[in-house]
Structure 1
Amino acid sequence: MTTPAIHAPFLAIPQVLPTTNLPTKISFPPLTINAPPKTDLWRKPPHIDVGNVPAIFLPEPIDLNKFRSANVTVSGEWNTLYDQGGIVLYILGDDLKKWVKTGIEFVFGKPFVGTVATASASDWSLVPLPESAGGKVTIHVERETKGDKRLQSLWVYVVGENGERHAIREVAWVFGPDVIDYEGATAGGRTMLVGVYGARPTVPEGEGKENEELTVKLEGFEVTLFDD
């Protein structure tokens, strides 16, 4: 099923009640995001807290506890330091907004698979991308489960050409307060925006390129929710 998306910069996210009428599987047609220079999603205290990236989200926030998984294939003409694009999960309802982004990031002169998880500050991990990949990768993120029980971790996977998933990152705090048996859990009420994004934090070098945008291509973007 295809559902319309909304476009919004992170600084303009509305604080609204979660939607309750989305299907359990939401699929999107191929998408393109154009990211101008000086757009980024990064928090490094005490002075840096940037969130002005262009993004495409599900039509409305969802209850955090309903998120199951998302995947997308991301590609682009990565050529400027920190060029990036992929999946972004933005957690609302806390005093300090939290988010996870994962996809391609251009550093050290080539594209890597980069993942950033942000609570009070951003951390960052990189996984090499084979040259044969041509700057393209399929990313899958999924909430950890054990039988019928939903656990607190979000896992990030790279999907190979044969469909096999390779785990590259565990973010252990994403769903913590929503697990019933989680010690110290608080009341619910948190929501999540699920989407894809692109960013060009650095201004490209070269005469006449200071306004050159990064074009991020996103294919097969699909989100699944728990059926309850």
Structure 2
Amino acid sequence: MPPDSSSFMALNCPHDAVLPEYMGLFSLAAPPNTDLWRKPPSGDISTAPVLYTALRNPFIAAEVTVAADWELEWDQGGLVIFAGAPPGRVATAVPRPSADSTAPLTTQALSHPATPVPTSQNAGQRPGPGAGAAAAAAAAAAAVAQPQAPPPYMPPTPASKWVKVGLEFCNGACHATSVVATSDGADWARADVVRRPELRVKIERIGCALWVWYEDEVAGWKKLREVTWFFWGVEDKAVRVGVYASRPANFGTSMYERRQGFSVSPRNLCVDFEGLEIF
């Protein structure tokens, strides 16, 4: 049964875009020069349109069928899973004040130092003309000498892990491909040539590992790769699952079109998704 569309959120989609009412059959358009990639050490390229949802229960599996009129190099679409916030939606770390931190002295405290208590030696004596300045200098020196607490530590937000699998058009043919992104970068895996413009892909949790599958029209489900320890140290509520579409190529207009003054609108890639299931 397809998931409820009200639980989905859009990433890198137009502001006037409307979420599909039925997630069992819908389309997602990707303009040119859009991609989901990571360069070492953690430089994310997150411009591809993504529809994703957070799960109420621990993730088990997800699968969908993707189809499109693939024509440009690296055209792609499929499933994506994030172990943490998606790129572009990373939460900002809030500093926590330390328990032994001391409040800094205010300007009022420095400008109005405490009045010295008279003693038996200076009782009845009038303070000299430089007594006030000397007391202020002594108070300022004491404030400088007092150790200040270091600023609160702000731990860096770790780069989220994510995996995508789908159908990709490269070298003039369709392939089942998958990308695994970690804090060290990303790698790309490609399967045999797919002889049809559509493909059903699946991701499945096996223990702490993530298994990536694609469906062959003759042999059935084939395992594309295994991502070991993908769910290690990841809370169930931090998992996000969805679909993506991207067209990294952007060839622009030709020299003839520029000389003739032709205005060519960008050609979007429209990826059709059917039978989306998320468990």
TM-score class, shorter-chain normalisation, is: 0.7 to 0.9
- Counterpart residue number, 2:55: 62
Alpha-carbon offset, residue 97 of structure 1? 1.4
- Counterpart residue number, 2:270: 215
Structure 2 CA distance, aligned partners of 1:157 and 1:205? 35
Pick one of 11, 27, 46 that aligns with 1:51.
Answer: 46
Report the 3-state secondary structure (helix = DSSP H, G, I; strand = E; otherwise coil) of the residue aligned with 2:233: helix
- Counterpart residue number, 2:246: 199
Q: Is the 8 A contact 1:80 1:204 kept in 2?
A: no
1:74-85 pair list within 5 angstroms: 74-85=66-77
Runs of at least 5 residues in structure 1 that lack an aligned partner in the other structure: 12-26, 145-150, 179-187
- Counterpart residue number, 1:99: 162
Structure 2 CA distance, aligned partners of 1:196 and 1:62? 14
More displaced 10-residue stretch of structure 1: 151-160 or 203-212: 203-212
Structure 2 CA distance, aligned partners of 1:43 and 1:194? 18
- Counterpart residue number, 2:37: 42
Structure 2 CA distance, aligned partners of 1:194 and 1:46? 24
- Counterpart residue number, 2:5: 4
Q: Is the 8 A contact 2:166 2:177 kept in 1?
A: yes
Structure 2 CA distance, aligned partners of 1:72 and 1:163? 18
Alpha-carbon offset, residue 33 of structure 1? 0.4
Q: Is the 8 A contact 1:139 1:157 kept in 2?
A: yes
Inter-CA distance 160–209: structure 2 relative to 1 (3 Å threshold): farther
- In the comparison of the two structures, how many residue pairs are matched? 189
Alpha-carbon offset, residue 163 of structure 1? 8.4
Q: Is the 8 A contact 1:104 1:113 kept in 2?
A: yes
Aligned-residue identity in percent: 32
TM-score normalized with structure 1 length: 0.74
1:130 corresponds to 2:190: no
- Counterpart residue number, 1:157: 213
Higher alpha-carbon Rg? 2
Inter-CA distance 189–138: structure 2 relative to 1 (3 Å threshold): closer
Structure 2 CA distance, aligned partners of 1:47 and 1:118? 9
Inter-CA distance 85–205: structure 2 relative to 1 (3 Å threshold): same
- Structure 1, residues 118-145: CA drift from partner, whole Å, max 9, x if none? 01211000002332xx22111011011x
Q: Is the 8 A contact 2:58 2:237 kept in 1?
A: no
Runs of at least 5 residues in structure 2 that lack an aligned partner in the other structure: 14-21, 86-156, 255-262
Give runs of ≥4 in structure 1 deviating > 4 Å: 204-210
Q: Is the 8 A contact 1:37 1:210 kept in 2?
A: no
Q: Which structure features the higher share of helix residues?
A: 2
CA RMSD of aligned residues (A): 2.5
Q: Which structure features the higher share of strand residues?
A: 1
- Counterpart residue number, 2:100: none
More displaced 10-residue stretch of structure 1: 169-178 or 193-202: 169-178
Alpha-carbon offset, residue 72 of structure 1? 0.4
